[in-house]
Structure 1
C-alpha cells in the first residue's frame, strides 16, 4: 500500500512541497519546493491503507484519530498543499477518488432521501450540538452562513450585517408589516433583523430544537415576540401564504430528490406579487457529489447544488428567476474568521467535548475554507417571483437599500469585539 500512496503523491504534488514520514521513520519528499515543504507523519500502516482506499474520507479520519500528524506546521498548511495540487492535477491524478466520485453520483439520490423524519435527524446531528460551541466562533448574531465582504477587509460582524441587509434589499421590503417566511431560521438573527429594521412580520421555521429555544428567547428579550414567531416545522408542512420568503443556508439540506417539492412549496406559499430569495452554497463546475468525510461527520444528507440543478425545478415550478448573484470567495473569508476564532477558543471548546471533536471541527473548517479557495465552491443568491413585475427592472434598488441601511448601523455594531476565551492560540 505504501508504494501505491507514494506513486499517487508523486503524480499529484507538482507545486509546493510535502514530506511524508512513514510509520517506520523513513522520509519521502514530494514536489519541487524542498526547502519550504510541509511535513506530515503517518503513525500507523492503517493510515496508509485507509488513505489509498478512500482518501476523501480517510485523510480527515486519520487526522481525527491521531494517525496523520502535521510536524512543525499547521493542518491548514498541509491541506492547502494537498487541495491546491488536487485542483491543478484534477481527479485523474487520483484514480480512486475519481472512481468514488462516479459511485457517489450513482448513489447520491439514495443518500439524499431527506424525508421529514430523516431531515430532522440530519439537522440534529449538527445543529443540536451544545449551543455554547457556536458562540465561541461565530459572530455575536450567530450567523452560521456565508457573510458578505464588499471590500474584503470587513470584520466578521460587519460582513454578517452586510449579508443580512444585502438579502433584505433583494426581498424588497418596501412597506411595513409584510409577512415573511424564513425557512431554516437558525438562531433567529435574520428574522429578528427583518422585523426590527424593516418592520416585517416574520415566521421562522427550523428542525433544530436547540435553535428554536434560542431564537424564541432572543425574540422575547428584544421585545419582538409580537412581530416574530418561531416554529419547529418542516418546510413541506407550511400552509400559509407570505409576501416574502427567505432561506439562508438551508437549501443545502434539501437533497436533489426534493428540489421539485421545495420550489413547488415556494410557489404555493408565495403571494402573487411576492418575492423570494434563496441563499445557498453551490458549485460552479456542474453536478457532483458530497465529500464522504463531510457527509459522514458534518452534514449527513447534505449536498451543494450546481446552478443547473436548481434552475430546472425552478422553471418547472412556474417561478421566475428575477436575479442570480454568484458570491466568490466570500465564504472562504467567512470560514477564515471562524477558523481563527475556533483556534483561539480551542481549549474552551475541548471542555465541551473532547480532543477528537476539536480535530473533527478543525478539519471541517479548514477543508471547507480551502474548498472555496481552490475548488469550485461558491454561493448562489437566487431571487424568485411569481410575476415579472414583482421587482424593478434594474438592480439599483438593491444597492441603494443596503447602502442606506448599513450607513445607519452604529459603528459599535460593526466592530470586531471577539475576545478569545482560551489563552493558548493554536495555528
Structure 2
C-alpha cells in the first residue's frame, strides 16, 4: 500500500473519530445541561436564592458554563445579560458569599482557577516588565470617569465611617485621611514617601493639613497627570513631588512611608521585596502604614478569575498573616486595625453615584461596561459584608524606642 493511500485511510479514520466524538458531545449536551441546571438550582436554594423569585435565567446554557468555569462564568453571564437579579444584586451576591465553604467550592469551582493557581507558582505576574498593566487597564480609563463618583480627595480606597451615617462618604474619606495621619504621628516638616499615590489626594491632604513634604510614586500615567494638576490647583506643589516610578526602584530615606491600596498589586512573589523597599526607605525611628484588602486565608496565588480578567489584572489579596510575616526581620508590627465592614458602605455609595451618573448621561459607556462595573462594585461589597475579605491597616516601625500609642 502506498504512503499516500495509508495517509488517506488514516485521515479518514481520524475524521470519523472526530465526527463521532462531536456527535456524542452534541447528543450528551442536553443531558449535561439538565444535570448542571439541577445542581445549580439546588445549590442556589442552599443560599436561599430561588429561581423565579430572586433570580431570572434568560439563557439556560449558563448552568453548564457555571459548573465548568465558576465565578468567571457567573460574572461574564451577568455582563451578557444572561441572568438578572430580582432582588438588589448586592443582596443576592451576599447570599452566595455566605454559603458554607464546601458549598461555595462546589458552586464556584473552575478548572481555569486551578490552572491560574499553578501558573502563579511558576510565573511572576507582577514582575517589573508587567507592573504597568493594571495601571493601563484600570486606572487609565480616564480621570474624568473617576471624578464623577469618588470624593473630592479622589480616594479610591476604603473610607472610615466611624460616627457617620452610611451615606456620608466624603466626610468618611476625610476621616480616613486624618486617621492615617494620626497613626503615622505626622509632624510639620517631616518627609513622607507614598508608594502608590493614586491621584495624589492623600499626599495633598497631608501637605495642606499637616505641613509635611510628600514624595508620591505611581505607574499610572493618568493618575500621575491628575496628581500633579491637583497639587498645582491646591497650591502645594512646593510640598509634593509626584513621579512615575516602580516601587522597586525607589531610593532615599523618609521619616514616614505610607502605602494605600497598593499591596494588592504587588503579588506574593514580590512581597518580600516590597517590605524590603519600605525598610530601605524608612529612617531609623520612623513609622510606616500599609492599608490593604486582606484574605481570610493565606495563599500564594490569586483565585478570583473574574476580577483578574476584567478589573485588576495580576491582582493578589494577601492575608494579615502575610502582611506580618514578610515584615519579619525588617520592621516591627505596632498596630493592626480591621475596618473591612466600612468598605461595604464605601462600595455601595460608589455604586449609587455610578448609577446616578449613568441615568443622567454623564457616563456614556457600553451596556456591557456598565453591567461589568455595577457587578464589580456590588460583588466586592458582598465580600466585605459576608466577611470573606477584610481591610487591614497595619502600622510598622523601624528601630523606634518606646511604646507606640494606637489610634482609633
Give the shorter-chain TM-score range.
0.7 to 0.9
Q: Distance in 1 between matches of 2:76 and 2:105?
A: 23
Q: Distance in 2 between matches of 1:325 and 1:351?
A: 36
| Helix, strand or coil at the partner of 1:94 | helix
- How many residue pairs match? The answer is 374
Q: Distance in 1 between matches of 2:386 and 2:124?
A: 26
Q: How far 1:4 moved relative to its partner?
A: 2.0
Q: Which residue of 2 is the match for residue 223 of structure 1?
A: 235
1:380-419, aligned counterparts within 5 Å?
380-389=392-401, 392-395=403-406, 398-399=407-408
Q: Which residue of 2 is the match for residue 27 of structure 1?
A: none
User: Relative to 1, partners in 2 of residues 1:323 and 1:77: Cα closer, same or farther, differing over 3 Å?
Assistant: closer
Question: What TM-score do the two structures reach when normalised by structure 1?
Answer: 0.82
User: Relative to 1, partners in 2 of residues 1:310 and 1:373: Cα closer, same or farther, differing over 3 Å?
Assistant: same
Q: How far 1:131 moved relative to its partner?
A: 1.6
Q: Which residue of 1 is the match for residue 138 of structure 2?
A: 126
Q: How far 1:376 moved relative to its partner?
A: 1.8
Alignment pair present for 1:10 and 2:26: no
Alignment pair present for 1:188 and 2:203: no
Residue 59 of structure 1, aligned match among 43, 60, 74: 74
Q: Is the 8 A contact 2:260 2:290 kept in 1?
A: yes
| Helix, strand or coil at the partner of 1:302 | coil
Q: Distance in 1 between matches of 2:205 and 2:122?
A: 37
Moved over 2 A (4+): 11-17, 42-45, 72-84, 86-97, 99-113, 284-290, 347-353, 391-395
User: Relative to 1, partners in 2 of residues 1:62 and 1:183: Cα closer, same or farther, differing over 3 Å?
Assistant: same
Q: Is the 8 A contact 1:184 1:247 kept in 2?
A: yes
Q: Is the 8 A contact 2:69 2:108 kept in 1?
A: no
| Helix, strand or coil at the partner of 1:136 | helix
Q: Is the 8 A contact 2:286 2:400 kept in 1?
A: no
Q: Is the 8 A contact 1:56 1:293 kept in 2?
A: yes
Question: What TM-score do the two structures reach when normalised by structure 2?
Answer: 0.86
Q: Is the 8 A contact 1:263 1:313 kept in 2?
A: yes
| Helix, strand or coil at the partner of 1:54 | helix
Q: Is the 8 A contact 1:5 1:52 kept in 2?
A: no
Residue 90 of structure 2, aligned match among 76, 86, 89: 76
User: Relative to 1, partners in 2 of residues 1:271 and 1:349: Cα closer, same or farther, differing over 3 Å?
Assistant: farther
Q: How far 1:284 moved relative to its partner?
A: 2.4
Q: How far 1:94 moved relative to its partner?
A: 2.9
Q: Whose radius of gyration is greater, 1 or 2?
A: 2
Q: Distance in 2 between matches of 1:291 and 1:350?
A: 30
1:105-144, aligned counterparts within 5 Å?
105-110=117-122, 112-144=124-156
1:14-33, aligned counterparts within 5 Å?
14-19=46-51
Alignment pair present for 1:158 and 2:171: yes
Alignment pair present for 1:372 and 2:387: no
Q: Is the 8 A contact 2:343 2:391 kept in 1?
A: yes
Q: How far 1:79 moved relative to its partner?
A: 2.4
Q: Which residue of 1 is the match for residue 63 of structure 2?
A: 48
Q: How far 1:101 moved relative to its partner?
A: 5.4
Q: How far 1:181 moved relative to its partner?
A: 0.4
Q: Which residue of 1 is the match for residue 314 of structure 2?
A: 301
Q: Is the 8 A contact 2:71 2:108 kept in 1?
A: no
Which deviates more, 229-238 or 11-20?
11-20
Q: How far 1:74 moved relative to its partner?
A: 3.9
| Helix, strand or coil at the partner of 1:128 | helix
Q: Which residue of 2 is the match for residue 329 of structure 1?
A: 341
| Helix, strand or coil at the partner of 1:225 | coil
Structure 1 unaligned spans of 5+: 21-36, 400-427
Q: Distance in 2 between matches of 1:101 and 1:121?
A: 20
Q: Distance in 1 between matches of 2:100 and 2:153?
A: 34
Q: Is the 8 A contact 2:196 2:262 kept in 1?
A: yes
Q: Distance in 2 between matches of 1:177 and 1:140?
A: 25
Q: Which residue of 2 is the match for residue 272 of structure 1?
A: 284
Q: Which residue of 2 is the match for residue 419 of structure 1?
A: none
Q: Distance in 2 between matches of 1:142 and 1:81?
A: 31
